[in-house]
Chain A
């Protein structure tokens, strides 16, 4: 057994124990829904920082962003402006969402929509969108984890990587069931610490060994230009709209995902959210540095069949075996944390908005149904990864992202105005969902669509184009529905909450 594999196994087994031990963290009755699902809304600034960081910057992110940079160059860097402008949005919009959620006992975004617009059908639409966004995201965490399992210890367990993946995930489902959100919150401390160590080491060692950043970029530029599908270290003119719309659209949808909402609502005060908006960009800096590793991969002459393997290969090439084991463990644990939170987030939506409906008295109800659903969500995702081609998971995730943004008018704008009629929001949502799906199919599941507008073609982010359509439909039909005197549902939020 290699040193790398031993280090990896010890770290992953260690966090598993933490996951089960988390049930004893703080005095709590884990049979209560909000204790299991939101850690009792008691997390302070530090815990929330690790939890949100561990949740939003997933294993898949740390593998896929450098892989994209390795594959296409500058365009892949859109993740950095995305992860920058997301935080002013958190500071203003999500802090407001937290305070309404706290007063009215929401566990999900669909709870808010149900309460605010008094519409059962809109509640279900918002909940199903969240579930559709979360499922493929969990599957991709598993894909990221499998990539690591294939490389750890020089490929020592590559042959049984599928079995190892299944074991790791079944254990994850078990401690998610027993400990709820406390498990990923506790494990996130380990995950984030390991990730910071691995990335800082990589960013100091690798470019220096390649002759410095100047040499890395120069070599990457010439290799990218010589490829059959040429890439570039700068954005070509035709990709600027794509770059900006991808960054903007992604930043709007980031906090609509159920796992983001779940982590956010576990904070103990609005101040914790605002402080974290200022502190979480530390992870974005880390993400930016990791993205640059994609260029290091090109400059180091690493050739891979699957570009997701670039980061594990870089660690295997430039570091001793035991340290590569630390980096691999960081990524594998980095998959477990968000996967657990996503399963909890999806389960919350099923249990509180699909199988039952929002009511302000519900929070102290039993966690049992949600716990069972979390297990089912995990089982579904594992089956998806084991039996369906990875490419379909990626397509589904891409679609899920475009769909997720379609709840923006109801969830985010709904925090500020009730001008939109609930049925208009539902219609806009439906049009947005269909348009996003149609554009994705038409482009062969790429994130961008060439929009022909006023004699020019704008290649831009499908999710954002669909949102524009969604908003136009909702804006046109709202006054129409009101003039027809079709009643809008009652607003359950107290006037003071939204004022």
Chain B
């Protein structure tokens, strides 16, 4: 990827979490938990993964 291209990855969590109409729904539920809640909790895990990728990409570029 280009020099700063992986920074774009880090925009995804903002888009995914800051537009509530995207996820303000009960169905589909996961283990009985409404979509609204498990969707946002999934973003926590996904953001952690994206940052992990960005970290590795950054380290490779630095070395």
Residue positions of A touching B, CB distance < 8 A = 74, 77, 80-81, 83-85, 87-88, 91-92, 212-217, 233-235, 240, 243-244, 247-248, 271, 274-275, 277-279, 281-282, 284-285, 288-289, 292
CB neighbours (8 Å) of A235 from chain B are 20, 24, 36
Q: C-beta contact mask, B12-36 vs A, less than 8 Å → 1, else 0?
A: 0110011111001110010111101
Q: How far is the CB of B36 from chain A (nearest CB, A)?
A: 6
Determine whether the beta carbon of A275 is less than 8 Å from that of B13.
Answer: no
CB neighbours (8 Å) of A83 from chain B are 44
Question: What is the CA–CA distance of A90 and B40 in the complex, to the nearest angstrom?
Answer: 19
CB neighbours (8 Å) of A278 from chain B are 48, 51-52, 54-55
Q: State whether the Cβ of B45 lies closer than 8 Å to any Cβ in chain A.
A: yes
Closest B residue to A275 by beta carbon equals B55
Q: How far is the CB of A236 from chain B (nearest CB, A)?
A: 9
Determine whether the beta carbon of B20 is less than 8 Å from that of A277.
Answer: no
Closest A residue to B32 by beta carbon equals A214
CB neighbours (8 Å) of A214 from chain B are 29, 31-32
Question: What is the CA–CA distance of A468 and B55 in the complex, to the nearest angstrom?
Answer: 31
Offer 24 A-B interface pairs, CB within 8 angstroms, sorted by A: A77-B37, A80-B40, A80-B41, A81-B43, A84-B43, A84-B47, A85-B13, A85-B17, A87-B51, A88-B11, A91-B54, A212-B31, A212-B32, A213-B32, A233-B34, A240-B24, A244-B19, A248-B18, A271-B59, A274-B51, A274-B58, A278-B54, A288-B40, A289-B41
Closest B residue to A207 by beta carbon equals B32
Question: What is the CA–CA distance of A88 and B9 in the complex, to the nearest angstrom?
Answer: 9
Question: What is the CA–CA distance of A88 and B7 in the complex, to the nearest angstrom?
Answer: 9
Determine whether the beta carbon of A81 is less than 8 Å from that of B18.
Answer: yes
Question: What is the CA–CA distance of A87 and B45 in the complex, to the nearest angstrom?
Answer: 12
Which residue of B33, B34, B51 is within 8 Å of A91 (Cβ)?
A: B51
Question: What is the CA–CA distance of A151 and B19 in the complex, to the nearest angstrom?
Answer: 39
CB neighbours (8 Å) of B55 from chain A are 91, 274-275, 277-278
Question: What is the CA–CA distance of A27 and B21 in the complex, to the nearest angstrom?
Answer: 54
Determine whether the beta carbon of B17 is less than 8 Å from that of A84.
Answer: yes
**Interface pairs A-B: 7 shortest CB-CB:** A214-B32, A213-B32, A278-B51, A81-B17, A88-B10, A281-B48, A240-B20
